[in-house]
């Protein structure tokens, strides 16, 4: 059985008080007996407070939105994986299209981060997805294949257990335009078959693949009902407690 996951990506939003209030709301309202795993990806400076707050709740986890691949050293302004581990963070989002676009994170840099995270026993939420012009030219399958092959497919089946994939078509992020359930399903099935080819069927069947890009309460249920869509990575709609909660509860 693959894990059902609702992950919220707060990006560079909310103050500490607002973030804590939101996390408190989610932790109070969440069905702790549910199989759905909930992850909140928050700014670095709030991670410790959030992990202290949510620590006792078995299906609520806190994620960093990035990390540096090196263990320590002269990298002013960066955050290393052992620092995250020292405050009980177990999940890290990497390869978000905003990091790729605005901070020049290449497939090669992401491969280094993947390797460092695997080595340190962290769970990875690895983002991939094509820009609009690639989709229009019908190059989206090849584009995503290349992202995964370049940064992720070298892992062993055992290492791959630490990986969650988030497919986020760039044209759907923050635009209000969502991939249709069929478009999402088609790409997720493609990704699963690629994993099957590279790492074997068992790994493919057990890897959670999330959809991201304007997931909202109104479309979550239909998206999550698709065979290969195991949940969502949610930006804007995760900043409101009630919206995010209805997305969490959208798994049928």
Binder among 236, 248, 250, 251 for ligand PGA (CB under 6 A): 236
Question: Interior CA angle at 199 toward 196 and 204, to 5°?
Answer: 40
Q: Which of 96, 140, 188, 190 is catalytic?
A: 96
Residue nearer to ligand PGA on the CB measure, 152 or 204: 152
Binding of residue 235 to ligand PGA (CB under 6 A): yes
Shortest distance, position 166 Cβ to ligand PGA, whole Å: 7
Binder among 6, 187, 191, 234 for ligand PGA (CB under 6 A): 234
Parallel, antiparallel, or unpaired: how do β-strands 60-64 and 91-94 relate?
Answer: parallel
Shortest distance, position 214 Cβ to ligand PGA, whole Å: 4
Q: Can you read off the two tokens belonging to residue 162?
A: 């630490």
Residues 208-227: x where in contact with ligand PGA by CB under 6 A, - otherwise, as a string = ----xxxx------------
Binder among 4, 5, 6, 9 for ligand PGA (CB under 6 A): 9
Answer yes or no: 168 catalytic.
yes
Shortest distance, position 78 Cβ to ligand PGA, whole Å: 22
Structural contact between residues 3 and 208, judged by C-beta atoms closer than 8 angstroms: yes
Q: Which of 61, 140, 168, 190 is catalytic?
A: 168
Residue nearer to ligand PGA on the CB measure, 168 or 228: 168
Binding of residue 168 to ligand PGA (CB under 6 A): yes
Structural contact between residues 191 and 208, judged by C-beta atoms closer than 8 angstroms: no
Binding of residue 105 to ligand PGA (CB under 6 A): no
Binding of residue 129 to ligand PGA (CB under 6 A): no
What is d(CA 99, CA 94) in angstroms, rounded to the nearest whole number?
Answer: 8
Residue nearer to ligand PGA on the CB measure, 1 or 12: 12
Task: Report the catalytic residues.
Answer: 96, 168
Q: Give me the residues that bind ligand PGA (CB under 6 A), please.
A: 9, 168, 173-174, 212-215, 233-237
């Amino acid at each position: 059985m693959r894990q059902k996951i609702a992950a919220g990506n707060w990006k560079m939003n909310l103050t500490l008080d607002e973030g804590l209030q939101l996390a408190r709301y989610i932790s109070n309202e969440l069905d702790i007996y549910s199989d759905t795993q909930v992850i909140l990806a928050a700014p670095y400076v709030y991670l410790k407070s959030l992990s202290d707050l949510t620590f006792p709740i078995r299906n609520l986890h806190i994620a960093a939105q990035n990390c540096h691949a090196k263990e320590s050293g002269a990298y002013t302004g960066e955050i290393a994986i052992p620092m995250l581990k020292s405050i009980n963070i177990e999940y890290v989002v990497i390869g978000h299209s905003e990091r790729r676009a605005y901070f020049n994170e290449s497939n090669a840099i992401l491969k280094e981060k993947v390797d460092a995270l695997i080595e340190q026993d962290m769970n990875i939420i690895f983002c991939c997805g094509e820009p609009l012009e690639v989709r229009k030219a019908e190059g989206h399958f090849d584009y995503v294949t290349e992202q995964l092959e370049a940064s992720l497919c070298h892992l062993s089946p055992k290492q791959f257990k630490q990986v969650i994939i988030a497919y986020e078509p760039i044209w759907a992020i923050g635009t209000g335009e969502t991939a249709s359930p069929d478009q999402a399903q088609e790409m997720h099935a493609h990704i699963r078959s690629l994993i099957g080819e590279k790492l074997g069927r068992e790994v493919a069947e057990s890897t959670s693949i999330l959809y991201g890009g304007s997931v909202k309460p109104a479309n979550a249920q239909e998206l999550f009902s698709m065979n290969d869509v195991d949940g969502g990575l949610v930006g804007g709609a995760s900043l409101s407690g009630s919206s995010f909660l209805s997305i969490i509860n959208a798994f049928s």
